[in-house]
Structure 1
């Protein structure tokens, strides 16, 4: 069966209430409260968005994320009462797309879910091609949504691909963080930490020396620019 969203949270009231609220707005949503139950759900259903708590009784949402990410590129939104930067970075670095701290309002959670589902639907359709110049060691196949670096295909998550191609389409122009949130994430509630982690991941995949980027430059206090010599 196909679902827009699966919520995995060991707090039954939160999981059930959130799912019912999503259903009111036309988002087909299921919920489970156990780690193994979540794995079984994925084995028998198709899901477009996962909302995942970090604490799942004796198990870890981080571990669950890594398991799902090994076989699926669906967007994953972490929800947790743990608000340390270390937890946020861990969630993003292991494959999460965003992170929201409890307590949160249902309308904020709904807005994030809608934005992530919209991005995923865009990701599954063809990306608009671009004639923007590229560094010679980078090739992009927009039909297959593949990035090759030095002749080798490098795996990009859907949001990384969107961010990279947006920067490339606007190469040699400084792009503000606000513009990236609006045009790439389509979500006003994205944090700077989320953007910074995605930029770092892309640099690690395309830059000869990620610590001294040659292409994706930080413009402090403003945003980023993808520099290419024309």
Structure 2
């Protein structure tokens, strides 16, 4: 099942009241209360956005964020009563997109979540799903399939693939990919080449003779239109 928001917070009454409030205002939401439950959630479901507490019983939201960022590229908004500069900087540096202090107003939190969801959805093309040959990418759920097989991608692999597909038919220079995917203009050619190689191994029928992701020698790459 697909949800717009997943809450990961060990303060069970607060998490449940936030879940109920969001669902009341038509933002589909699910609450879980520890790190293992969050990881189990993503084995069966998807979400557009995660609200993540720092203190999670026997584990840390920071460590869970690091784990999630290996596989998931959706926005992560930290929610915490801890509000030191060190905590905020760490949260943002490991992959968090925003930091919201507790206690929070449910109406303000909902407005923030809706704003992020809107910005996130506007980043995609008008069509949620793109298909060519036996390849399919669903921009809403982040699901990628080749034939009937669901392809598991790491966060940066998905982000790179989505950018290529959304700009299909256009020759994308390496510098543009560095800036828009890695958001780092000094990313090395080797890093990009490795990610392209991994994508081809996962989505091409013959990675040695790619048909979907074309190399434009000396310039960059192009996804088949």
The aligned residue for residue 167 of structure 2 is 143
The aligned residue for residue 66 of structure 1 is 66
Q: How far apart are 1:125 and its partner, in Å?
A: 2.3
Q: How far apart are 1:100 and its partner, in Å?
A: 0.4
8 Å contact 2:75–2:96 — kept in the other structure?
yes
Q: How far apart are 1:58 and its partner, in Å?
A: 1.2
The aligned residue for residue 100 of structure 2 is 100
- TM-score, normalisation: structure 2: 0.60
Q: How far apart are 1:64 and its partner, in Å?
A: 0.9
Structure 1, unaligned runs of 5 or more: 127-139, 161-201, 209-230
8 Å contact 1:147–1:156 — kept in the other structure?
no
The aligned residue for residue 218 of structure 2 is none
Cα distance change of structure 1 residues 18 and 61 upon mapping to structure 2, 3 Å threshold: same
8 Å contact 2:179–2:185 — kept in the other structure?
no
8 Å contact 1:8–1:53 — kept in the other structure?
yes
Q: How far apart are 1:84 and its partner, in Å?
A: 0.4
The aligned residue for residue 198 of structure 1 is none
CA distance in 2, matches of 1:11, 1:155: 38
Cα distance change of structure 1 residues 71 and 156 upon mapping to structure 2, 3 Å threshold: farther
- TM-score, normalisation: structure 1: 0.59
The aligned residue for residue 154 of structure 1 is 178
Secondary structure of 1:125's aligned partner: coil
Structure 2, unaligned runs of 5 or more: 127-162, 188-225
Cα distance change of structure 1 residues 53 and 147 upon mapping to structure 2, 3 Å threshold: farther
Secondary structure of 2:74's aligned partner: coil
The aligned residue for residue 19 of structure 1 is 19
8 Å contact 1:21–1:106 — kept in the other structure?
yes
Secondary structure of 1:47's aligned partner: strand
RMSD in angstroms over aligned alpha carbons?
2.5
- Number of equivalences: 148
